[in-house]
């Protein structure tokens, strides 16, 4: 992010911007006592100041999956409870140096995916496949780390800084395949508890969901284990963790139909085995070209209402919601994303009318960017980034203009005007597409110029030197 990108935020008319600090960038070894990277502090401090000068509120995430490597090598990362202490020290550093200006803190972003892909499937760093054990242990320590950071802020910083500390949890909605079948209804509830309740229930109620404790405990016993693979909180820890969130951050992208399927315990421990369910999609749902993301707006409203009733009407900030590009499309006229935005924001507005205490909404994302194991192929941005160009130029997609209209109107005024937004956005993007289409030629001309001009200059100097030598020789 630079000044140009802050200008894009102003162009969108957003009120706030959510970004993540990099723990290894600020503390290269992960340990505050070892070394603090002052250049990293300076970079983020200047960025926060630039946002505030543009009247954009910074919403800052402390940890979005990038654990300092020395903590992984030396201690085993989130498999070791000591990592929670190091995280608390890191959080305190951030509160100390940025907290005078940052009033909205997110401790962890989507920790469920972090532990599932990092310690169960091995798709993400650290790439471990500790099936049915590693992810529960990592999650247990992350929940403790979150609670420690919240208590640190509450006891040391809240009085003078007056900020808020929460956590951001991602979950799709789970709808029963057959609403009249009690087993499907139970399976859908179980899906939500293993997804959202896994982290939210300890924070709001002091312990893991009962269905997780029962299922994992029973299957662990059937697998010949003396204790459950799901770690237990002590009574003191339950009291310590409960109530450690000033708001609930909620990330949501799509919906699944859920039906029950019993997996035999003899198949061995795994997260999938523990849940005893199957996720399905409706072939009629709009396919956005991604393997997992379908546009199902009504699921968003149901998830928001579920969170409200389940966790005692917490203030909710929607921290992630968006759609990636259709297959490998590089067109800027992303009409399908406009439909997605319209549908999902409208369902959120309905949830507000239902009484859900929604405080803010953040779309994912401003720019096309690195998307973990998908690399740069999945493009979620309002602005297209030409990664093959050294300068990484940004081009607004149609959805950027449409989103600006939603922000300015704070919703949808009337169908005719909303339709005019769509038509105008598509008209503008057609012009931008022509500019983007010319980009390879412009880049090639720039490259040729960068090579040709120095080469010609060098030849001129050489020719001048030869002529001078000949002239001097002739005079002698």
**Residue in 173, 350, 188 with CA at minimum distance from that of residue 254:** 173
Would you state the structure tokens that stand for residue 322, as one six-digit string?
Answer: 């968006």
CA torsion angle 231 232 236 238 (round to 10): 90
Determine if the peptide bond prior to 413 is cis (ω within 30°): no
Give the position of tokens 């000068």.
Answer: 53
The radius of gyration of the chain's CA atoms, rounded to the nearest angstrom, is 26
What is the C-alpha to C-alpha distance for residues 10 and 407, in angstroms, rounded to an integer?
12
Would the CA dihedral through 257, 258, 259, 263 be positive or negative?
A: positive
476 in helix, strand or coil? coil
What is the C-alpha to C-alpha distance for residues 326 and 196, in angstroms, rounded to an integer?
28
- Count of CB atoms within 10 A of residue 198's CB? 24
Beta strands in 301-393 (DSSP E): 316-320, 358-361, 383-385
Would you state the structure tokens that stand for residue 14, as one six-digit string?
Answer: 């957003």
Question: Known catalytic residue: 373?
Answer: no
- Count of CB atoms within 10 A of residue 80's CB? 17
Secondary structure of the chain: what % helix, strand, coil (to 5)? 55, 15, 35
CA 159 to chain CA centroid, nearest Å: 29
**Residue in 373, 271, 276, 355 with CA at minimum distance from that of residue 308:** 355
Write the CA distances from 287 to 258, 281, 299, 332, 385, integer angstroms. 19, 10, 15, 18, 23
The two most distant CA atoms of the chain are separated, in Å, by: 108
Q: Which residue in 175, 237, 320, 347 is the catalytic one?
A: 320
172 in helix, strand or coil? coil
Cβ atoms of residues 345 and 297 within 8 Å = no
Catalytic residues: 320
């Amino acid at each position: 992010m630079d000044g140009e990108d802050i200008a894009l935020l102003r162009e969108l008319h957003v009120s706030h911007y959510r970004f993540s600090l990099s723990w290894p960038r600020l503390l290269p070894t992960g340990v505050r006592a070892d070394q603090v990277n002052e250049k990293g502090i300076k970079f983020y401090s200047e960025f926060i100041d630039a946002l505030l000068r543009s009247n954009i509120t910074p919403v800052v995430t402390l940890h979005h999956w990038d654990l300092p490597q020395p903590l992984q090598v030396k201690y085993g990362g989130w498999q070791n409870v000591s990592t929670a202490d190091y995280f608390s020290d890191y959080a305190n550093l951030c509160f100390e140096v940025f907290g005078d200006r940052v009033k909205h803190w997110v401790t962890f972003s989507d920790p469920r995916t972090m532990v599932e892909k990092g310690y169960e499937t091995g798709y993400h760093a650290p790439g471990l496949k500790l099936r049915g054990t590693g992810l529960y242990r990592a999650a247990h320590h992350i929940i403790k780390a979150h609670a420690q950071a919240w208590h640190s802020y509450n006891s040391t910083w809240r009085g003078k800084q007056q900020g808020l500390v929460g956590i951001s949890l991602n979950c799709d909605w789970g709808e029963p395949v057959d609403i009249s079948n009690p087993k499907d209804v139970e399976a859908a509830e179980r899906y939500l508890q293993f997804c959202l309740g896994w982290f939210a229930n300890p924070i709001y109620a002091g312990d893991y969901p009962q269905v997780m404790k029962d299922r994992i405990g029973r299957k662990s016993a059937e697998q010949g284990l003396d204790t459950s693979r799901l770690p237990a909180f002590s009574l003191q820890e339950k009291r310590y963790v409960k109530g450690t969130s000033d708001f609930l951050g909620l990330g949501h992208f799509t919906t699944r139909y859920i039906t029950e399927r019993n997996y035999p315990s003899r198949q061995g421990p795994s997260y999938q085995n523990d849940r005893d369910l199957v996720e399905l999609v409706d072939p009629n749902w709009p396919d956005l070209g991604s393997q997992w993301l379908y546009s199902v707006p009504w699921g968003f409203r149901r998830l928001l209402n579920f969170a409200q009733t389940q966790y005692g009407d917490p203030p909710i900030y929607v921290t992630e919601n968006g759609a990636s590009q259709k297959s490998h499309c590089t067109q800027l006229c992303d009409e399908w994303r406009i439909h997605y935005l319209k549908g999902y924001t409208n369902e959120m507005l309905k949830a507000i009318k239902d009484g859900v205490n929604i405080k803010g909404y953040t779309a994912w994302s401003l720019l096309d960017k690195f998307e973990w194991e998908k690399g740069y192929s999945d493009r979620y941005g309002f602005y297209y980034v030409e990664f093959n160009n050294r300068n990484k130029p940004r081009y607004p997609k149609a959805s950027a203009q449409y989103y600006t209209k939603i922000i300015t109107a704070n919703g949808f005024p009337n169908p005719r005007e909303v339709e005019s937004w769509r038509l105008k956005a598509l008209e503008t993007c057609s012009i931008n597409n022509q500019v983007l289409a010319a980009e390879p030629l412009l880049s090639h001309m720039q490259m040729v110029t960068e090579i040709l001009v120095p080469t010609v200059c060098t030849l001129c100097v050489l020719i001048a030197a030869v002529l001078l030598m000949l002239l001097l020789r002739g005079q002698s």
